[in-house]
Structure 1
Amino acid sequence: MFEKILPFTRKKHVAGLKCAFTGHRPQNLPFRFDETDERCLRLKAELRKLIVQMIEQKNVTHFISGMALGIDTYAAEIVLDLKSQFPFITLECAIPCETQAAKWSERYRNRYFGIVEQCDKETILQRHYSSDCMQKRNRYMVEHADLILAVWDGKPSGTGMTVTYARSLRKSVWTLDPNTFSVTVE
């Protein structure tokens, strides 16, 4: 694993808790890749509310995104947008391998690299793809976070395995159901 901490200038703020995001890829969401769908717009609004609540009520100041398509991307973009309101928050991109976005469409690659260019910390878990690099990334995020924000419908998935791992480490898990928009906090 190697890290690149990007320079930034901000007012000093007391470091707070760290939150990692986990969630479904677009093909596993009710609206799939259609981000203009009202369900996607509502999901992003609910996700934003939870992130603001974490900042204001739980003193979360550092967010970790695994940079996958879907929830990871939405959450990272929300954090970057919230920096104008909360200049002390930071975004870390936890990248499973250097080629994570290599096979994505140009549109999604540009979005990915735009987020990475704006993040405060870039952590690349390994140089080359391996069958377990996504799982290593998920474990890294859970181990380096105080709490987890999961957009998960409760069905078996990589997100479910990440939530199970977080629970085994007694991390606080906030779950937003992408179908009902209900939130549970454990």
Structure 2
Amino acid sequence: MLKRLVVTGYKPHELGIFNDKHPGIPVIRRALADRIRGLLEEGLEWVIISGQPGVETWAAETAFELQEEYPSLQVAIILPFLNQEEKWNDAKKAAFESIMAQADFTTVLTKRPYEAPWQFSERDKFLLRNSDGILIIYDEDNEGSPKWMKRLAGQRADAGDYEVLTINAEDLQLAAEDMQAEKWE
């Protein structure tokens, strides 16, 4: 049973999303909500992200909405380094500040600003050590940044009791079709 779930995936630009009005965002959020809701029914307690823009931010926002239905759900944001958001645009910073303010737990792993890529690697190892499974929005035909975390999670799953769940392009298409069908009901 999954109690602590890391959620990750693509950054917005990797999906061709350049503003908050993009029609793909509600579809991604719907797919996340459907999957997380099913896991909540089975005993999920924590959604854990590292605060990156894109899938991670949308996952946190989705989890906050699900807290209305599942008040025991908690959200943790584990940042790899201080001031992660300092070079982001204003919209990404605002979304980041909003999720940080609503999170049940936040911390910064290295307690210092960005120095080198090892901080991302340490973040990934920490997240995998401190969770029971991972949900990755990922498509094998469009690797992008999530491929590294998916590879590490697969190694962790091969070595023991760890679950790797994915939402792929077909899952997103089904979510879009469900949303479209609901409009016509």
What TM-score do the two structures reach when normalised by structure 2? 0.82
Which of the residues 74, 77, 83 maps onto 2:61?
Answer: 77
* Other-structure match for 2:29: 44
More strand by share: 1
Which of the residues 149, 159, 173 maps onto 1:162?
Answer: 149
Unmatched segments (≥5 aa) in structure 2? 175-185
Contact 1:19 1:149 in 2 (8 A): yes
**1:130 equivalenced with 2:121 (yes/no):** no
Shift of 1:35: 3.8
Shift of 1:110: 1.7
Shift of 1:178: 4.2
State the one-letter code of the partner of 1:150: I
Distance 1:97 1:178, change over 3 A: farther
**Counterparts of 2:45 and 2:3 in 1: how far apart (Å)?**
6
**Counterparts of 2:139 and 2:131 in 1: how far apart (Å)?**
21
Contact 1:153 1:179 in 2 (8 A): no
Shift of 1:143: 1.5
* Other-structure match for 1:9: none
Distance 1:182 1:130, change over 3 A: farther
* Other-structure match for 1:139: 125
**Counterparts of 1:87 and 1:67 in 2: how far apart (Å)?**
21
SS in 2 for 1:79: helix
**Alpha-carbon displacement from aligned partner over 1:30-66 (angstroms, at most 9, x marks no partner):** x422443333321211111111111113x11111011
* Other-structure match for 1:67: 51
**1:177 equivalenced with 2:168 (yes/no):** yes
Contact 2:14 2:144 in 1 (8 A): no
The percent identity for this pair of structures is 21
Distance 1:179 1:34, change over 3 A: farther
Distance 1:54 1:180, change over 3 A: closer
- In the alignment of these two chains, the number of paired residues is 167
Shift of 1:122: 0.7
**Alpha-carbon displacement from aligned partner over 1:72-125 (angstroms, at most 9, x marks no partner):** 000011111111111111100011111100011222212111111111111211
User: Which contiguous aligned blocks of 4+ residues in structure 1 show a shift greater than 2 angstroms?
Assistant: 33-40, 155-158, 178-183
Contact 1:94 1:125 in 2 (8 A): yes
Contact 1:24 1:152 in 2 (8 A): yes
- What's the C-alpha RMSD, in Å, of the aligned pairs? 2.0
